[in-house]
Amino acid sequence: MEVLKVSAHSNPKSVAGALAAVVREKGSAEIQAVGAGAVNQAVKAIAICRGFVAPNGIDLVVIPAFAEIVIDSEERTAIKFIVESR
């Protein structure tokens, strides 16, 4: 599954475009975000992406979960969003 990493400084429209391309090609994707700002941008990107793929008859389903990731040799808790077409 393709993993897209989102930061607090990510442009939600750009992330939405990348997410739409992955969902159209592979049917599902995973978004990882660490911190409140990054989670905010990720949620906005998912909402924008729904508008991008809806004309193609694709309805998105999002499953939120926790993930343990390593950043600079330090373990962090991330929020991951599994995005699939329904």
CATH of the domain at 21: 3.30.110.20
What pLDDT sits at residue 86? Answer: 85
CA torsion 8→36→32→77, rounded to 10°?
Answer: 130
Share of the chain above pLDDT 90, in %: 92
When divided into structural domains, the chain yields a total of 1
- pTM confidence score: 0.92
Asked whether the predicted pLDDT for residue 79 surpasses 90, the reply is yes
Name the helix (H) or strand (E) containing 46: helix 36-53
Give the C-alpha separation, 30 to 32, whole Å: 7
Give the domain extent around 43: 2-85
Is 4:29 a contact under the CB 8 Å cutoff?
Answer: yes
